[in-house]
Amino acid sequence: MRTVDVSAVKKASRRSDSDLLAWWREARFGLFIHWGLYAIPAGVWRGKRVPYIGEWMMFREKIPVATYEKIAARFDPKRFDAKAWVKLAKDAGQRYLVITAKHHDGFAMYDSASNPYNVVQRTPFARDPMRALARECRKQGITFCFYYSQDLDWHHPDGAWNTWDYDEKKKDPDRYLREKVLPQLRELLTNYGPIGMIWFDTPITLSKTRSARIRRFVKKIQPQCLVSGRIGHGLGDYSLPRDNFLPPARLKGDWETCATLNHTWGFKKHDHAWKDPQTLITTLVDLASKGVNYLLNIGPDANGVVPAPSARALRAIGAWLKVNGAALYGSSPSPFPYEFPWGRITTKGRTLYFHFFQKPPRSFQLRGLKTAVKSVSALADGKTKFAFQESTDDATGTPVLTIDFKGFKVTRPVTVVAVTLKGDPAVVPGTLQQPDDSLTLIGPMARVGSDAKQPAMRMGGNGLTENWRHPEDWLEWTFTVLTPGTHEVTVVTTHQHLEPWSGGHTLRLTCGDQSLRRITKRERILPGLRSEYFPQIATRFGRMRFDRPGTYTLRLQATRLNLKKSGKTYYSDGGMQFCEIQLRPV
Ligand code: FHN
């Protein structure tokens, strides 16, 4: 086995902390690979389709260790081709690759000297696929990273969550760390060259001390190696929201959303719910505009074959990135904290990239950009220039940029226009009414307050409210109306689709002398990207009128919270997860 000179790795990588994330920020898009023994049952156990994600088979069916171990004897992926997998990531335009070195089933998919339950010792394949992948990644210029399940381990007697083979009371988490996690991390960090990141996951039972110990251990061996947010206790180098989560707004700090191409991570033969390239490209853009990396997963089958629909979708994203990559790689989020009805914005220095999800009107308006514009051109050909005009809305003083999109050519599914500025981008800070007269009040732009001394509710880093469990707490927005009129008011809340929705709360909305009161009901789920895994549950509240142009203040207070029905889970505090208020002209 090839070993790396650790002192050389350390020396080469002694960079300041802020530089550590530079490659990852530049990358914006990565390939996740879930591959393990679970690819053999592929979602079916003893003739029965097992619900939920494929790699959770052992847990869902409470398969005894002795039985599950036998699957290894059938693992012989004849068509595994490291070069082709890495080439697929390349073709997709992905810049890093994260693969499951050990998932929750405890099986090491690499040559682990410290634990015999691994792919070399227990399978007829008897090779280390990670060696080949590490080599190929280096050759093809992709940053190689490992996924490692540091808490859940259903194989080790002291690992978390196997209570059908092992007595919970006898578990010693420190022994698990000592015997399995740390020795295996040492192997992963010394035998495969420089590792971009260890992607830790599901820190459900880990104490802060143990998370910190694992982090220190990694950094001591490879100081430049990133540690994912799911190391737990906020100790990661960047943050992760829930799986497949698309935030409602731009986030503060560094984030990554990991996502599935169908509904599972590990291969399942009957999951054909493939996302189409249009959805995936739009999601990539949406996330980049909010400062979030996209880590998109494939689950190769037991033979080592990447499902054809996954490969097709990834290549379609790559084709789009070939033309439009300048607007994505190394981009910063939009200077505007909110989404636009027409698409999204990414930023690179003094250039703003407008990503249109549909063809814009010939006379297109952007409100709120304070910096003067130098030029507007199509990204796809770099030649087509568009005329523009800068003005100010008389009544509110809002800057308005009007672009004449004569000759606009659509590139499916997202067309990018580069807007070069004369200075650094600066925008009007509050919420503005959009040219289609709509207004959207998002959580992260609200003031959080309370009739009590201190609000118990807070805005979570992921853009949703946390701990909204007290009727004294409220959110308040100030926004600017340019075109007076009457608006239909809708409140949108959400939940993770497999967990209970916290609804039935009585909410009061007040704006000047207007007041609306309703109970949140699942009246309809808004269509769109975000709803697939986090249904956007809309409740209509009635109408509000804004009689004159100018600024308004609106307060949202939950006067009665219905918390009995909404259960707390490992992830959710059971309170109302508020997304936004939509004000739409009638
Ligand atoms: O339980 C795991 C799951 O199997 C999968 O690995 C995902 C990927 O983000 N992480 C956990 C659930 O969040």
Q: Give the ligand 1 atom nearest the CA of 100.
A: 6
424-469 pLDDT, tens digit each: 999 999 999 999 999 999 999 999 999 999 999 999 999 999 999 9
What would the CATH number be for the domain defined by 439-585? 2.60.120.260
Strands 447-450 vs 473-481: parallel, antiparallel or unpaired: antiparallel
Q: Does the beta carbon of 202 sit less than 6 angstroms from any atom of ligand 1?
A: yes
Confidence of residue 573 (pLDDT cuts 50, 70, 90): confident
- pLDDT surpassing 70 at residue 227: yes
Give the residue, by CA position, lying nearest to ligand 1 atom 13: 243
475-519 pLDDT, tens digit each: 999 999 999 999 999 999 999 999 989 999 999 999 999 999 999
- pLDDT surpassing 60 at residue 376: yes
State the amino acid at position 297 in one-letter form.
N
In angstroms, rounded to a whole number, what is the distance separating the alpha carbons of residues 350 and 399? 18
In angstroms, rounded to a whole number, what is the distance separating the alpha carbons of residues 425 and 347? 9
- pLDDT surpassing 90 at residue 382: no
To test the ligand 1 pocket, which listed residue (265, 498, 572) has its Cβ within 8 A of the most ligand atoms? 265
- pLDDT surpassing 70 at residue 4: no
Give the residue, by CA position, lying nearest to ligand 1 atom 10: 201
Q: What mean pLDDT value characterizes the chain?
A: 95
- pLDDT surpassing 90 at residue 17: no
pLDDT of 1 reads 39
pLDDT of 566 reads 57
Average pLDDT in the 242-265 region? 97
pLDDT of 18 reads 66
10 Å CB burial of residue 500 (0-12, 13-18, 19+) is: middle
List the chain domain ranges.
Answer: 6-326, 343-429, 439-585
Which CATH architecture group holds 343-429? Sandwich (2.60)
pLDDT of 3 reads 44
What's the gap in Å between 242 CA and the centre of ligand 1? 9
Percent of the chain residues past pLDDT 90, beyond the cut: 93
CATH topology match: 6-326 vs 439-585: no
pLDDT of 14 reads 44
- pLDDT surpassing 70 at residue 290: yes
Confidence of residue 563 (pLDDT cuts 50, 70, 90): confident
pLDDT of 8 reads 46
Q: Which top CATH class is 6-326?
A: alpha beta
Average pLDDT in the 344-353 region? 98
Q: Does the beta carbon of 147 sit less than 6 angstroms from any atom of ligand 1?
A: no
Confidence of residue 523 (pLDDT cuts 50, 70, 90): very high
In angstroms, rounded to a whole number, what is the distance separating the alpha carbons of residues 101 and 32? 12
The whole model's pTM is what? 0.96
Give me the residue label for tokens 């037991």.
Answer: 302
Average pLDDT in the 132-153 region? 98
In angstroms, rounded to a whole number, what is the distance separating the alpha carbons of residues 293 and 236? 15
Kindly report whether the peptide bond that precedes residue 341 is cis, defined as omega within 30 degrees of 0. no
| CB-CB contact of 128 with 111 (8 Å) | yes
- pLDDT surpassing 50 at residue 373: yes
Average pLDDT in the 181-186 region? 98
Average pLDDT in the 129-144 region? 98
- Residue 540's SS3 state is strand
State the amino acid at position 510 in one-letter form.
T
In angstroms, rounded to a whole number, what is the distance separating the alpha carbons of residues 152 and 174? 13
Query: Residue 444's Cα: distance from chain center in Å?
Result: 17
More confident residue, 14 or 385: 385
Q: Give the ligand 1 atom nearest the CA of 56.
A: 4
